[in-house]
């Protein structure tokens, strides 16, 4: 049975809901990427993040993102992290005691260059469009760079480390998301747009358990 949790906010239909995550209180946080894909590729910052409470109430929590995409919460749920695909970066927002979000700040550097058509594999490797993200147990934020066929990690010191790179996209073509599972949380799963499978590998570090894994 399919249940619709939210399809509009303040009477405005949701047309690009993207990436839901759940916090300890049972709230669902979700990104809404854009209402105009063509203009978002030119820099339109109409993406937003909304929250659906356990009682079904939905509200916009933050706006002004350049194609809001992947979301993550850190271990103590003190910050919400948002991938900005067209911004080619990750920003984070503090979660206040009353549940509201504070001002956003960049988390780490811009992760690459703008994309352009007919790029070579070497050129694509420098594209910085971010898609999904998730934390490992040591506080590194793994981020998929969808057009570069790459997964990087932003360390707690804000350094950027390349974790996986498949230049030609032979196996990992346009990676969109990372997630961990298994008894030891070292089973790594990577979704990709251009393949009909989910990649599996053993991770060097366990993932940070999500709410349903704790």
- Please name each of the domains of the chain with its CATH number: 108-213 (2.120.10.30)
pLDDT at 161: 98
The tens digit of pLDDT for each residue in 144-202 reads 999 999 999 999 999 999 999 999 999 999 999 999 999 999 999 999 999 999 999 99
Average pLDDT over residues 113-126: 97
Q: Containing H/E element for 59?
A: strand 58-65
Q: How far apart are CA 162 and CA 13, in angstroms?
A: 38
Q: Containing H/E element for 37?
A: helix 37-40
66 closest CA partner among 28, 100, 106, 21: 106
pLDDT at 26: 97
Cα separations in angstroms, 213 against 21, 22, 210: 13, 12, 5
Is the separation of the CB atoms in 27 and 6 below 8 Å?
no
Q: Containing H/E element for 67?
A: none
Stated pTM of the model = 0.97
């Amino acid at each position: 049975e399919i249940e619709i949790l939210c399809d509009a906010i303040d009477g405005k239909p949701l047309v690009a809901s993207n990436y839901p995550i759940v916090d300890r209180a049972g709230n669902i946080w979700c990104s809404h990427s854009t209402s105009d894909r063509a203009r978002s590729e030119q820099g339109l910052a109409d993406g937003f993040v909304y929250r659906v409470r356990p009682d079904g109430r939905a509200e916009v929590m933050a706006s002004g993102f350049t194609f809001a995409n992947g979301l993550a919460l850190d271990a103590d749920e003190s910050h919400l992290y948002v991938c900005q695909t067209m911004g080619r970066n990750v920003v984070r927002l503090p979660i206040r005691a009353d549940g509201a979000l504070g001002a956003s700040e960049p988390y780490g550097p811009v992760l690459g260059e703008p994309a352009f058509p007919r790029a070579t594999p070497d050129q694509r490797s420098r594209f910085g469009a971010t898609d999904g993200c998730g934390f490992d147990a040591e506080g590194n934020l793994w981020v998929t760079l969808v057009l570069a066929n790459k997964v990087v990690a932003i360390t707690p010191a804000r350094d950027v480390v390349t974790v996986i790179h498949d230049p030609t996209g032979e196996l990992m073509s346009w990676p969109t998301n990372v997630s961990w599972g298994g008894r030891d949380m070292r089973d790594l799963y990577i979704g990709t747009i251009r393949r009909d499978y989910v990649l599996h590998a053993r991770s060097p570090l366990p993932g940070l358990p999500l709410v349903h894994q704790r």
